[in-house]
Amino acid sequence: MISKNELKYIQSFAHKKQWAQESVFIVEGPKLVEELLDSDWELEAVYCIEPWLKQWSQPMPHVTIVSEQELERISLLQQPNQVLAIVKKKQYNAPLTFKGNLTLVLDGIQDPGNLGTIIRTFDWFGGKQIIVTEDTAGLFNPKVIQSTMGSFLRVRVEVVHDIPSLLKSQDLPVYGAILKGSSIYQTTFKQEGFLIIGNESKGIREDLISLIDHAIAIPQFGGAESLNAAVATGILLSHWKGQ
C-alpha cells in the first residue's frame, strides 16, 4: 500500500521544480532498477508489484509492494513497468580529468530524449564524462534518465557554468560539429580533447565557436537540412573511435 503523501510526492517528479531541486530522482522499469541495485548508487525507496520482487533473489531495502493500479498512479511512464525507484543523486568527489579523455560538451541540447540518447551513445563508445551548459536539458528529468537506458550510471554528466574558461585552461584539441566544418571523412581525430555538440536548431553559440580548433562536419548527400543531434553525435563518435 502506498500513502496519499507518497503518491503526491512521487507524482511531483513530473515537474522540473521537483526533479531539479530534490536530492533524489525517479528511475523506472526492471532493467534500470536492476542495474541500479548492482551499482554504487543509493536507493532510497522501491515501489514494485509482487511478481517482480519475488524473482529478485537479493534482499531489497526500503521496498513497498504496490498493486498494478497503484503503480499506474505513481508511474511517470505511459506504460508503467513493474517497479519504480527513488534514487539519491550521486556526488562525485574526484575532479573531472580532461587529459587522456574525450570530453563531450553539450551546448544547449533541449530535447530530453536527445540528451538521454546522447549519453547512451557516448557510453557505447566508451565515453566517461560530459559537460553541459546550464540551458541543456536536466539529467534528472525522468525522460532523460529513462532514455539513457542506464548509461547515466557510467557516464558522469556535469553542468559547468563557464565552459569557455574551462576549455581555455586546458591545452587540448577542441572539436566542434559545424555545418561548414571539414568532412569527418578527411579528419584525423586525436583520442583526447573536447567535442562540442550544439543546440538542435541554433547550433553552437558564439563564445564556444571561437574556441574550436577543429571544425568538423558530416557531409550532406541528400535533401534533409540537418541531422538529429543524437544521430550526429553517434556518427562523430563512431569516426572518432574508428581510427
List residues binding a copy of itself (CB under 8 A): 113, 117, 120-127, 149-151, 153-154, 184-185, 218-228, 230-235, 238-239, 241-242
Residue 130 corresponds to which cell in the numbers above? 560530459
Q: Could you tell me which residues come within 8 angstroms of residue 73 by beta carbon, excluding any fewer than 6 positions away?
A: 2, 7, 11
Between 73 and 239, CB nearer to a copy of itself: 239
Between 56 and 125, CB nearer to a copy of itself: 125
What SS3 state is found at 48?
strand
Kindly state the smallest distance separating residue 155's Cβ from a copy of itself, in Å: 8
Kindly state the smallest distance separating residue 175's Cβ from a copy of itself, in Å: 16
Between 161 and 221, CB nearer to a copy of itself: 221
What SS3 state is found at 33?
helix
148: nearest Cα among 120, 127, 174? 120
Kindly state the smallest distance separating residue 206's Cβ from a copy of itself, in Å: 24
Kindly state the smallest distance separating residue 118's Cβ from a copy of itself, in Å: 9
Kindly state the smallest distance separating residue 104's Cβ from a copy of itself, in Å: 12
What CA–CA distance (Å, rounded) separates 39 from 56? Answer: 15
What CA–CA distance (Å, rounded) separates 151 from 165? Answer: 28
Between 2 and 227, CB nearer to a copy of itself: 227
Q: What does DSSP assign to residue 95? A: P
Between 70 and 142, CB nearer to a copy of itself: 142
What CA–CA distance (Å, rounded) separates 32 from 77? Answer: 13
